[in-house]
Amino acid sequence: MYYSEQDRAPFSDTLFLSHKTMTEKTLPILTADSLSQSDLDQGLYPGRWWHREGEKIVCDLCPRACALGENDRGFCFVRQNLGGKMALTTYGRSTGFCVDPIEKKPLNHFYPGSSVLSFGTAGCNLGCKFCQNWDISKSREIERLSARAFPDEIAHVAAELGCKSVAFTYNDPVIWSEYAIETSKACHAQGVKTVAVTAGYITESARAEFFEHIDAANIDLKAFSEEFYYRVTLSHLQPVLDTLGWLKRETDVWFEITNLIIPQANDGDDEFQRMCDWILKEVGDEVPLHFSAFHPDFRMLDRGGTPPETLIRAREIALSAGLKYVYTGNVNDVRRQSTYCPGCGETLIERNWYQLGKYALNGNRCQYCNTEIAGHFDDRPGNWGQKRLPVDMHSFLKQHPLPSSSADDRQKGSSTMQTNPTTPKIELQPEHEQKLLQKAAAVVVGTATRTNPAEIVLEGLENMVINGAFVSLKRQGQLRSCCGNFGQPLPLGQALHQAAIRAAKDDPRFPPISPSEIGQLDLEVWLLSDLELVEEQGLDRLKAVTVGLHGLQIRADGRSGLLLPGVPLDHGWNAEEFLNQTCIKAGLPPTAWKDPGTTLLRYQGVSCGAKLAEMLAAPVENAATQILGGREFAQYLQYVQSTIEALMHGQVPSYYCPQVSDANIQGVALLLQHSETEDELVLSKWALKQSFPMQSTVFSMCQQLAQIIVRQNLRPGEFQVKLVLATDPALHGTVEGIQLIDFDSRNRSLFVFEGQKAGWFFDRNQSASEIISRAHQAVGLMQPEAAQVASMAVQTAASRFEIVNRPRAELGTEIRPTGVAGTFYPADAGSVNADLDELFDGDAEPQTWAAAMVPHAGWKYSGRIAADVLKRIKLPSTIIVIGPKHTREGVEWAVAPHKVWQLPNGNLNADLDLARRLAEEIPGLELDAAAHRNEHAIEVELPLIQRLAPEAHVVGIAIGGGNLQRCDEFAAGLARVIGELEEPPLLLISSDMNHFATDAENRRLDQMALEKIDTLDPEGLLETVREHHISMCGVLPAVIVMKALQKMGKLSQVERVGYATSGDVTGDRSRVVGYAGLLIN
């Protein structure tokens, strides 16, 4: 499908501005006083660029033109129809702030060496499968936006920190244009420049107003083919090209272009040539072009990183095409990251990553030949270097407050958590509790059922100012939702109303509350006191926390996490675990609360609770949910069938059915049934926590299904297509503890999830328990106590269906090619052998050992320890390497099905017969190449083994999730197989120790785990690692090997060979990984 004019958003009356008519950037700066305080508290801001179409509003900001019904969110998730108007829902809210070098954006010709205050929000209007910031841009978790700051505050902080500019980055600022524009106005008033890092996916009607306030931009040109944009980013190429051409012709915005090169996707020489030719023709030879290296991430983990040779080739093509300034990025390449004079060829700006070296410019001219260099340059370069400085906006603004004229009478701040008492002590009488619960219940149910809630007046409490209110919902004792507001003093009635709405529909961890769940939920209301700064540091903080009295908030590195006072009581935590869990909630290492740079605050609260249904004035009718009317559904099914037939014949059908209203849904399936054989093929998509537009999704699936039908040579009349639509998700706990009271199997379907395995099941004629039993077998559940169950209302003509998504084992090729050569260790034989010579320096007397443990980081970090262990072992003819599974590829427990391991320094043989025997004997273990394709835990050890025992046979096993019982079953099967072998193999555990704590804390945690290994206690090892949140990635392989040795009567001795952390190599002790080497008999 190619981009066409019909794909654009319809235009309303809009004034188009060129750089010749743009006003000076001195428009009024919007402050919190200009808007409703309650809206700002929730991140709400009136959206621009939209128009009405019937009962819906259509977004005109980006080419997607999302049509939104009441409360619907667009593809970007941050723009929402509220009350029939467009609203931005992330105004004043960010994932965090950080001062970076400007070269990191990357901008090489915009005040080199200067510092830039960077921030972003959540969501994105593209769907890139390779997204490097997926946890932010793909996030639907708006509550993760813990750093709050308004435009004038951001400008003030940037100026105070001496930043030359502020960058809107991490996710695309186009979707939060209103916030970016107002921040730009404030920055310009302070003399601070602004930078947009964007994909340029914006409509013609919105471009002028957005870029009017931007000084510089980096435009991410993701590829130069419509097919790539459509299939990999779920967008179109032409709007991006339109933006680039418009920026050049119509504005004075300085911009540079970045192209992320992805292997097997956009790395062809022809594509590079076409892109460079277009750039030269349309935007000129002076626009800097950055070719950036890809690293596997998000949903594109099926390939390795970009080879340096590809970056070099792309750069040479660009230079040959006539572009003057071409750079490589995301790699260490000083030569190709430096700026050269296009006149005389001399080095003008030397860059080592983001650190500037030689600087030979006079203003914007070459010191050697006076050639003018395109860009914006000061007389002298900046000296920020490659530092990265996270900024806690709240703390900074306390120390460097806004001028009084800007800050008076405002309670907004970046996080606005008050640390001095400002609200009265909270005391609740029984009659107060009843009113609070009734009001919260009415709002929760009204929001869930999309009806007006009953009016509950809190009387004397209504206008009492409190510091925070939370509403919590639980089902069978398990948290279902918990949301609220904190640190912004508000009238109690308003605070409770907001908290109840968010608990009903906006908890990012769960889907919205379904009306079908209301009878099963328990309700809890919390009213919170002021925050109090905990002055104690380190371990002394344990004494400052009283479980049952205090709630906690943690802040560090732009992240924030909060837990209510009742949480540790629900889980039986002590003070230390409460602190650990609060850090985890913030996305920090569990022991970050000990760090001096971490801010700890505590507060108190009062609560009351009851059954949700008992607090309602009238019972809620649980009617079946319909997405489309009966007639509409029939028309839409006819459209689907005719669209597929048109696509089969190469025709171009309408991608939208005008007779049917669009809807945001959460599940869809097309069931293709062969008329004669009754074989069924299914295409499906579902998402519990977010909705997606029905019509565009179904059309895309029609395209896919038509291609499949053509490949199978089916003709009209030989198949039938059935349509399934789903919405209204509800949660039901785990398979083992499932609660399906009043479940309506005629109108609702069931979902079962375990790890990467999932199934969607529907049968009008079976009970819920029968469907669950079928799902258990179909999905292949291994841990029913952890597998989750959900349901959705369905609309379909089918009487039953079964859709199972689980990794399928792949046999692969006889030779397993290298997956991580060139990253974890060198890719060429000469360098590998040179490194091995150094690693194996020194002699050791090999002895017989039953097992060993070696680390698997890059050789520069842990290769020495691995070599010291292996050279002390008299290696047998067979070695079984068992390591953790780091990728999402393949089955959960996978033994490599290859005959040969390909290595730069000489191949190693595998033992396929032994691999097959292990797969037959060990429950859940499968022969699978996919799990090993890009797995490094085994591969990094193989060149070392090849050096010492080139004739050895190596079996590789990758272990995903599991529990103690499954490890015991694995160990029993392993022991049985080994007992049948003539010569026992070496069992080699591949594992790093704890990840990403400070050096001292890492060593403390690792010592706890190693002590359990020293005492030959596999059960204790697993318990300790999990209880203390030790991120030892190979703990399950270690438990399996120790238990197998126990069963064979061979576990009696452990000898430590070495221990180190990554800090020993890098010198950075603030964030390290631990490595240990052990010998086991």
For 743-770, what is each residue's pLDDT tens digit? 899 999 999 999 889 999 999 999 999 9
When pLDDT is averaged across residues 181-204 and rounded to a whole number, the result is 95
Domain membership of residue 211 (yes or no) is: yes
Model confidence at 1003, pLDDT cuts 50, 70, 90, reads very high
Q: In which band, very low, low, confident or very high, does the pLDDT at 251 lie, cut at 50, 70 and 90? A: very high
Q: Which domain holds residue 896?
A: 815-1080
Last residue of a domain, one of 350, 373, 396: 373
Residue 958 has which token pair? 């990758």
Mean pLDDT of 680-684: 91
Residues 840 and 977 in one domain: yes
Which percentage of the chain shows pLDDT scores above 90? Answer: 68
Of 208, 228, 256, nearest to 48 (Cα)? 208
The answer on 203 and 172 residing in a single domain is yes
β pairing state of 355-359 and 347-352: antiparallel
Closest CA to 328 of 341, 342, 343, 313: 313
Residue 311 dihedral angles phi and psi, to the nearest 5° = -60, -45
**Residue 109: burial class (beta carbons within 10 Å; 0-12, 13-18, 19+):** buried
Task: State mean pLDDT over 486-500.
Answer: 87
Predicted local distance difference test score (pLDDT) of residue 593: 95
975-1002 pLDDT per residue, tens: 999 999 999 999 999 999 999 899 999 9
Domain count, the chain: 4
- In Å, how far from its chain's centre is CA 966? 29
DSSP 902: -
Contact 1031, 580 (CB under 8 A): no
Q: Write down the mean pLDDT value for the chain.
A: 88
Single-letter residue type at 170: Y
Q: What is the pLDDT of residues 126-146, one digit of tens each?
A: 877 666 544 444 444 444 444
Residue 20 within any structural domain of the chain: no
Query: Could you tell me which of 566, 609, 563, 565 has the C-alpha nearest to residue 441?
Result: 609
Total number of residues shown for the chain: 1081
**pLDDT surpasses 70 at 418:** no
Sign of the alpha-carbon dihedral angle for 484, 488, 493, 497: negative
What are the backbone angles phi and psi of residue 893, rounded to the nearest 5°? -120, 115
Q: Which run of H or of E encompasses 671?
A: strand 667-674
Helix pair angle (492-505, 430-449), 10° resolution: 40
309 lies in some domain? yes
Looking at residue 128, its pLDDT comes to 77
The CATH number covering residue 308 comes to: 3.20.20.70
Alpha carbons 763 and 767: distance in angstroms, whole number: 8
- pLDDT value of residue 215: 97
Of 614, 647, 670, which marks where a domain is finished?
A: 614
Same domain, 781 and 826: no
Do 605 and 654 fall into the same domain? no
Lowest mean pLDDT among 104-113, 356-365, 478-487: 478-487
Residue 10 lies in a domain: no
Give mean pLDDT, residues 109-125: 93
DSSP 330-397: SS--HHHHSEE-TTT--EEEEEETTEEEEE-EETTEETTT--B-SSB--SS----TT--EEE-HHHHH
Mean pLDDT of 852-869: 97
11 belongs to a structural domain: no
How far from the centroid of its chain's Cα atoms is residue 582's Cα? 20
Q: What is the CATH number of the domain that holds 998?
A: 3.40.830.10
Query: Is a pLDDT exceeding 50 seen at residue 667?
Result: yes
Answer whether residue 426 shows pLDDT above 80.
no
Q: Are 1006 and 993 in contact (CB under 8 A)?
A: yes
SS3 of 749-812: the string is: EEEEEECCEEEEEEECCCCHHHHHHHHHHHHCCCCCCCCEEEEEEEEECCCEEEEEECCCCCCC
Judge whether 205 and 14 are in contact, CB under 8 Å.
yes
Model confidence band, residue 1068 (pLDDT cutoffs 50, 70, 90): confident
**pLDDT level of residue 27 (50, 70, 90 thresholds):** very low
Helix axes 1035-1047, 999-1014, angle to 10 degrees: 10
785 shares its domain with 853: no
Q: Which residue is it, tokens 């049952």?
A: 548
Within a domain: residue 405? Answer: no
> Domain boundary residue among 747, 774, 805?
805
Q: Using 50, 70 and 90 to split pLDDT, how confident is the model at 676?
A: confident
Over the stretch 873-932, which tens digit does the pLDDT of each residue have?
999 999 999 999 999 899 999 999 999 999 999 999 999 999 999 999 999 999 999 999
46 vs 296, residue with greater confidence: 46
Whether the model pTM is above 0.85: no
9 in a domain, yes or no? no
pLDDT, position 34 = 42
| AA identity, residue 987 | L
**Contact predicate 337/328, CB 8 Å:** yes
pLDDT at 414: 29
Spatial distance between the Cα atoms of 929 and 924, rounded to a whole number of angstroms: 15
For residue 322, which amino acid is it? Answer: G
With left for phi above 0 and alpha for psi between -120 and 50, is residue 394 left, alpha or beta? alpha
Q: Does residue 644 share a domain with residue 608?
A: no
CA 90 – CA 102 distance, rounded (Å): 25
Q: Is the dihedral of CA 202, 208, 214, 218 positive or negative?
A: positive
Question: Which of 854, 912, 917 shows the shortest CA–CA distance to 883?
Answer: 854
Q: Which two tokens stand for residue 133?
A: 């910031």
**How far apart are the C-alpha atoms of 110 and 197, rounded to whole Å?**
13
Q: Report the amino acid identity of residue 15.
A: L
Measure Cα distances from 1027 to 566, 1005, 1020 in Å: 20, 11, 10
Are 275 and 156 within one domain?
Answer: yes
Residue of 479, 582, 581, 569 lying closest to 523 (CA atoms): 479
Question: Are 841 and 795 contained in the same domain?
Answer: no
85 three-class SS:
strand
Residues 414, 153 contacting (CB under 8 angstroms): yes
Average pLDDT over residues 584-593: 90
Is residue 334 domain-shared with residue 356, that is, in the same domain?
A: yes
pLDDT grade, residue 420 (50/70/90)?
Answer: very low
First to last CA, the chain: 62
pLDDT at position 299 is 46
Report which of 208, 110, 225, 127 is spatially closest to residue 165, judged by C-alpha positions: 110
Query: Scanning the structure block, which residue is given the tokens 């970076």?
Result: 100
- DSSP H helical ranges for 863-998: 864-870, 912-921, 930-933, 936-939, 942-948, 964-979
Count of C-beta atoms within a 10 Å radius of residue 528: 26
Count of Cβ atoms closer than 10 Å to residue 468 Cβ: 27
| CB neighbour class for 472 (10 Å; exposed up to 12, middle 13-18, buried from 19) | buried
Distance, CA of 852 to CA of 866 (rounded, Å): 10
- pLDDT for residue 237: 93
CA atoms within 13 A of residue 252's CA, in its CB half-sphere: 9
- In 3D space, the residue among 445, 435, 434, 497 whose CA is nearest the CA of residue 471 turns out to be 497
**Nearest Cα residue to 893 out of 853, 863, 930, 939:** 930
Q: Both tokens of residue 530? A: 């002021």
pLDDT tens string 375-414: 999 999 999 988 888 888 878 888 888 885 444 433 333 2
- Distance of alpha carbon 394 from alpha carbon 369, whole angstroms: 49
Q: Are residues 659 and 756 in the same domain?
A: yes
Residue 10 has pLDDT above 70, yes or no: no
The answer to whether residues 957 and 836 belong to one domain is: yes
Q: Write down the residue that tokens 């022809």 correspond to.
A: 270
What was the pLDDT predicted at 415?
A: 29
Smallest CA-to-CA distance from 1080 within 1056, 1048, 1044, 1049 is with 1056
Least confident of 12-26, 50-64, 276-290: 12-26
Ranges 75-89, 202-216, 289-303, 497-511: which has the least confidence? 289-303
Inside any domain, residue 42: no
Identify the CATH number of the domain in which residue 577 sits: 3.30.1490.150
pLDDT of residue 557: 75
Q: Are residues 850 and 995 in the same domain?
A: yes
